[in-house]
Amino acid sequence: MPKYLIQFVQQHPSFRIFELESVAKIFNINVEYNPNDLDVLESLDPSIESPFLYVNIPSDEDVKKICSRAVLIKQVISVWAENKNLKGILEDINSNYDKKFLSNYLVDKTYRIEVDGYGTKYTQPKKLEMMLKISESPLWDNGKVVMKPTDESNHIVWTIQTDFGVERQGMVRNDSLEPRIIFFGQRVARGNRDDIIRFNLQERKYLGTTSMDPELSLVSANMGLVKKGDFMLDPFVGTGSFIIVSSHFGAQTVGCDIDMKAMRKQEECNLETNFADYGLSSHLMGTVLCDNSCPPWRTIPMFDSIITDPPYGVRAGAKKVGYKDNRRNRDIPEECKVGHVPQYIEYKVPDVMADLLELAAKTLVIGGRLVYWLPTSPDYKETDLPRHPCLRLITASCLQILTNRWGRRLVIMEKTINYNDEIHHKSKLTQDDLGQIDPQHKDLRQIVFWKAMGSSEKSLRKEKKKENHKNIDYINERKKINNSDNNNNSNNNNENTDNTKII
Ligand SMILES: C[S@@+](CC[C@H](N)C(=O)[O-])C[C@H]1O[C@@H](n2cnc3c(N)ncnc32)[C@H](O)[C@@H]1O
């Protein structure tokens, strides 16, 4: 299989490999890489960390398909030479390839050369100087330089990509510095960054305080394997960020929310008008005003994916229909039943999560994915995760740190067993089956809004923080989870004895 170099973007490092794996699965493309290379890709040591990863992918066409969806890929290069300096690059090109092959390569083609640096920025004169250093090659005998091609299919983008590493950022104009490595090759495709611009929140008319940013919405839809013709649900839809991008990827979508005002504040500007603005109305099956603690769906496998950002009670309050304890008369008079707005009570975050997993167990098709955001703090432990016997955890290690007190994880699960009321009803399951054993997210509001705590609790936490400070909990814990994920994967793939991970 041909070898390609992926350059990932700098954002959301713990999400990148899972997005690549998910997108490859959407298109049924076999992608191989050496799992040891992840130590560099995901390293927290800036002197080692690098966003470049070599992978094997069957063809250029497959690379283009992956790049048409993956938003955390910057570009994919078919590397021709790799060296510490440009003199070495030139020597490699001229010695690794036959002279005739090189001089014929650009016949009847147009091309341009782009120079870019990771951890540095080049001025235009510097870029030209670098291009000149590799000019003495038969490769440039033919072909015509065109900066804005009219025919992309006949146009080649050569790239000189240097890697200085993040540590050397800021030393940008120090020309005496040597890069860690220089790659020279043909760019096969750019990642799907354009969709981030298309769904930019600043240009979306209807928004709420918890609208999910487009990059993470697109990543979530990719993790949910959303594709054309799928049926996708967001049970906590709010302003509809996930259903919009899933519709863009060709799914038919439906959204539910307990609060009409979250979906529709005004007649002329609401979730539906956003769909119309994007030209996606035909993909919206509808919105349902309902409470996810008693969902309106039949227990049959019908959704290909459930992608959602449940309320954690930090910004968007979690509530469910119910009577407050002090309410004396619980019967609604017959004449008030039409148009009756029920009373809401507190919906505890662990219950929100447990109900969500049950909904997924009941309504996802086998192989369908539940993708949801789980609030997390530095005290996170694996037993915090909600579980269900019908669902297999793929990963919970994609972590977005929001402040030093809390963050959120993108949890990805897959339905593996059909729900059976006799075996899987809540009443038949143990706490071990359901997870969330004393989870840290049960009192997240307190963790986030620390001021609300009593002074003794505050000083206790201060002590604890001092103790933990050296460890930088998040970072080490993420490392731990990544390792355990890798171990799990290698245990699962124990037939695959070589060093290469096959997705
Ligand atoms: C974090 S927001 C979702 C934001 C959404 N992803 C967006 O992009 O706008 C959570 C949503 O859950 C809704 N919600 C709270 N309790 C609910 C319940 N019991 N059933 C259904 N929706 C609920 C809230 O009204 C809120 O709109």
120-149 average pLDDT score: 93
Under the banding of pLDDT at 50, 70 and 90, the label for residue 379 is confident
Mutate to test the pocket of ligand 1, among 204, 259, 351, 374 (most ligand atoms within 8 A of CB): 259
Q: Which atom belonging to ligand 1 lies closest to the Cα atom of 237? A: 5
Cα separation, 250 vs 477, in Å, equals: 37
Q: Which residue has the higher pLDDT, 289 or 491?
A: 289
State yes or no: pLDDT of 91 exceeds 50.
yes
Say how many Å lie between the CA of residue 148 and the centre of ligand 1.
45
291 lines ligand 1 (CB under 6 A): yes
Q: DSSP secondary-structure letter at 386? A: B
Residue 497 φ/ψ, nearest 5 degrees: -85, -20
Provide the pLDDT for residue 490: 45
- Which amino acid, 85? N
β-bridge mates for residue 435, sequence order? 386
d(CA 306, CA 304): 7
Which domains occur in the chain, in start order?
3-192 (3.30.2130.30), 201-452 (3.40.50.150)
- What is d(CA 312, CA 441) in angstroms, rounded to the nearest whole number? 8
> What is the phi/psi pair of residue 439, to 5°?
-70, 145
What is the residue with the minimal CA distance to atom 27 of ligand 1?
Answer: 238
For position 494, what pLDDT does the model report? Answer: 41
Per-residue pLDDT tens digits for 41-87: 888 888 888 999 999 999 999 999 999 999 999 999 999 999 999 99
CA distance 48 to 41: 9
Indicate if the pLDDT at residue 111 is higher than 70. Answer: yes
Write down how long the chain is: 503
pLDDT at 448: 74
pLDDT score of 491? 44
CA distance 410 to 385: 11
Gap from CA of 319 to ligand 1 centroid (Å): 9
pLDDT for 343 equals: 85
Distance, in Å, from the CA atom of 109 to the CA atom of 417, rounded to the nearest integer, reads 53
Is 391 in a helix, a strand, or coil?
strand
Per-residue CA distances from 418 to 301, 389, 391, 424, 434 (Å): 8, 10, 9, 9, 16
- Ligand 1, closest atom to CA 319? 16
- The Cα–Cα gap between 266 and 263 comes to 9
CB 12 within 8 A of CB 72: yes
Q: Across-strand partners of 400?
A: 408
Give 321's strand partners.
344
Nearest CA to ligand 1 atom 3: 238
Q: What is the reported pLDDT for 57?
A: 98
Residue nearest to atom 8 of ligand 1 (CA): 211
For the Cβ of 314 lying below 6 angstroms from any atom of ligand 1, the answer is no
| Calpha distance 400→8 (Å, rounded) | 17
Q: What is the pLDDT of residue 265?
A: 87
Q: Which of 151-165, 185-199, 450-464, 467-481 has the lowest mean pLDDT?
A: 467-481
DSSP symbols for 402-468 = -SSS-EEEEEEEEE-S---HHHHSGGG--HHHHB-SS-GGGGHHHHHSGGGS-HHHHHHHHHHHHHH
By CB neighbour count within 10 A (0-12 exposed, 13-18 middle, 19+ buried), where does 311 fall? buried
Q: Is the CB of 236 under 6 A from ligand 1?
A: yes
Which protein residue has the closest C-alpha to ligand 1 atom 4? 238
Residue 285 DSSP class: E
Distance (angstroms) between ligand 1 centre and the Cα of 22 equals: 26
Predicted local confidence at residue 48, as pLDDT: 84
Contacts of 192 (CB under 8 A, 6+ apart): 67, 68, 69, 70, 71, 73, 218
Q: Using CA atoms in the order 115, 121, 125, 131, what is the torsion angle rounded to 10 degrees? A: -20
What pTM value is reported for the model? 0.87
Ligand 1 atom closest to Cα of 257? 22
Would you state the pLDDT for residue 444?
Answer: 76
Please give the structure tokens belonging to residue 346.
């507190």
Q: Which amino acid is at 12?
A: H
Contacts of 36 (CB under 8 A, 6+ apart): 499
User: Please, which residues bridge with residue 412 across strands?
Assistant: 371, 395
- Mean residue pLDDT across the chain: 88
Q: What number of other Cβ atoms are within 10 A of residue 90's Cβ?
A: 19
**Ligand 1 center–CA 199 separation, angstroms:** 20
Which residue's CA is minimally distant from atom 17 of ligand 1?
258
Residue from 219, 233, 241, 257 whose mutation best tests the ligand 1 pocket (most atoms within 8 A of CB): 257
For residues 503 and 30, is the Cβ–Cβ distance under 8 A?
yes
Name the token pair of 502.
Answer: 């096959």
- Provide CB contacts within 8 A for 500, sequence distance 6+: 32, 33, 34, 35, 56
428: its two tokens:
């038949």
- Please, which pLDDT band fits residue 142 given cuts at 50, 70 and 90? very high
pLDDT at 441 over 90: no
Q: Does the CB atom of residue 482 touch ligand 1 within 6 A?
A: no
| Phi, psi torsion values for 471, nearest 5 degrees | -75, -20
**Ligand 1 centroid – CA 442 distance (Å):** 17
Tell me, using a 6 A CB cutoff, whether residue 14 lines ligand 1: no
How far does residue 198's CA lie from ligand 1's centre (Å)?
24
Quick one: pLDDT band at residue 462, thresholds 50, 70, 90? low
**Tally of CA atoms within 13 A in the half-sphere of 67 that contains its CB:** 23
257 lines ligand 1 (CB under 6 A): yes
Q: From 205, 206, 209, 210, give the residue whose CB has the most ligand 1 atoms within 8 Å, as the site to mutate.
A: 210
Is residue 332 classed as helix, strand or coil in its secondary structure?
A: coil
Cβ-based burial of 437 (10 A; exposed 0-12, middle 13-18, buried ≥19): middle
Q: How far is the CA of 184 from the centre of ligand 1 (A)?
A: 48
Number of helical H runs and strand E runs in the chain: 17, 18
Q: What does DSSP say about strands 364-376 and 303-308: parallel, antiparallel, or unpaired?
A: parallel
Instruction: State percent of the chain over pLDDT 90.
Output: 68
pLDDT band at 406 (very low <50, low <70, confident <90, very high): confident
Q: Per-residue pLDDT for 315 more than 50?
A: yes
Quickly state the pLDDT bin for 112 (edges 50, 70, 90).
Answer: very high
Classified as helix, coil or strand, 476 is helix
SS3 336: helix
| Tens-place pLDDT, residues 208-254 | 989 999 999 999 999 999 999 999 999 999 999 999 999 999 999 99
Closest CA to 400 of 39, 72, 31: 72
Cα 174 to averaged position of ligand 1 atoms, centre (Å):
50
Identify the weakest region by mean pLDDT among 226-235, 263-272, 313-322, 340-349.
Answer: 313-322
In the predicted model, is pLDDT for residue 499 greater than 50? no
Q: Where are the beta strands (DSSP E) in 154-313?
A: 155-163, 181-190, 231-234, 252-257, 284-289, 303-308
Q: Is 412 in the pocket of ligand 1 (CB under 6 A)?
A: no
Q: What pLDDT does residue 484 have? A: 54
| Residue (of 306, 304, 297, 308) closest to 229 by Cα position | 304
CA 243–ligand 1 middle distance (angstroms):
13
Computed on alpha carbons and rounded to an integer, the radius of gyration of the chain in Å comes to 26
- Indicate if ligand 1 lies below 6 Å from the C-beta of 447: no
19 Cβ below 6 A of ligand 1: no
